[in-house]
Amino acid sequence: MDFPSVDELQPLVCRYAELRHAWRDFLVDLALVLPNGEYFPDPFTKDASGVERLLRRVLGYAPLSSELEVRLGFLEEEESADGARCGSGACGTGAKYSAHYNIFDEGDGYRVLLRPADLENATALVCSLSRSAGALVLAESGEEMREPVVDTEIAATVCGYGALLTSGAAIYAKGCGGLRMHQATALSVSELAVLTALFARTHNEKTGRVRSHFGATQQEAWDQALAWVDSNRNLVQMLKDEPAAVASGMSEWNATQGFFSRLFARKEEPIPAPKTSNLTDEQRTRMLEARKLVDEALGE
């Protein structure tokens, strides 16, 4: 699997940082949403009520008002690029799933639009709904849309949906010609893994727990993404403290370093000096006297 170059990652990470800065006031308590029973405890049924219930569950993790009116809609069936499909939908040269800008502003609320193909696979469905959550946050915050589909996926990763999107970036379906990989996202599995790894590191998520929910393709991308993110610990710290600086291109990024380089870089981090700004003059004098006594004792 080819890992994106620093030049390829830069516009994605800068946009991620830009949205993180814009939404910094309501991102504090967000967690990484995982495809498990903790986040999706409801039984799923493949009908309108089941999809509606899943939509509410997905949107419940987004920083959106509970009073926001969101309705569900379906687009008409589209033919594949070569006009042919087998029963499984995994044949032909066209993509089984496709990433699209899937919300429509109706004035008094929004309509989330799904394609029939999205309903054929649970991973693709959750992926599409996660992109909808990102689109809704973008729309409600008034952020400028540059590349609508890409922007909604970046916005979704900023809001904690990165693991769900990464899962949807590589879906395997068996057709007449064997097993084929389909992509339900605009961004690649590696690009989404990087953005998700940045979220995990900045929000102190357990990366091993995230990895356990991925398939083989996502796990490979996740390992590469974590290695790159851990090679750029300054970037992670700036995303925590100064995301606007990252968005403006003020940070320097490294290529992926070896395991031992990352390990020793972690051990060599300087120990922060004790905060003394709140000490009174009397307390500061006592501390200096105590330090002097210790130095004299050690020198004897």
Tens of pLDDT along 119-148?
Answer: 889 999 999 999 999 999 999 999 988 899
Nearest-angstrom CA–CA distance, 292 and 148? 63
pLDDT score at 183: 93
Look at the chain and report how many structural domains it folds into.
1
Nearest-angstrom CA–CA distance, 124 and 182? 10
pLDDT score at 284: 56
| Position 255 in a domain | yes
From residue 158, how far is each of 119, 151, 175, 264, 298 by CA, in Å? 25, 11, 35, 29, 52
Asked if residue 170 lies in contact with residue 215, where contact means CB atoms within 8 angstroms, the answer is yes
- Classify residue 109 by its DSSP letter: S
| Position 296 in a domain | no
* pLDDT level of residue 101 (50, 70, 90 thresholds): confident
pLDDT score at 112: 96
| Position 291 in a domain | no
pLDDT score at 95: 54
Strands (E), the chain: 70-74, 103-105, 110-114, 171-175, 178-182
| Position 299 in a domain | no
| Position 34 in a domain | yes
Token pair of 42 as six digits: 């409801």
43-60 pLDDT tens trace = 888 888 999 999 999 999
Smallest Cα–Cα separation from 131: which of 181, 167, 95, 79? 167
| Position 281 in a domain | no
217-254 pLDDT tens trace = 999 999 999 999 999 999 999 999 999 999 998 777 87
Range with the lowest mean pLDDT among 21-25, 176-180, 197-201? Answer: 176-180
| Position 285 in a domain | no
- Name residue 229's amino acid: V
| Position 185 in a domain | yes
Phi/psi of residue 42, nearest 5 degrees: -80, 140
Range of the domain at 187: 6-273
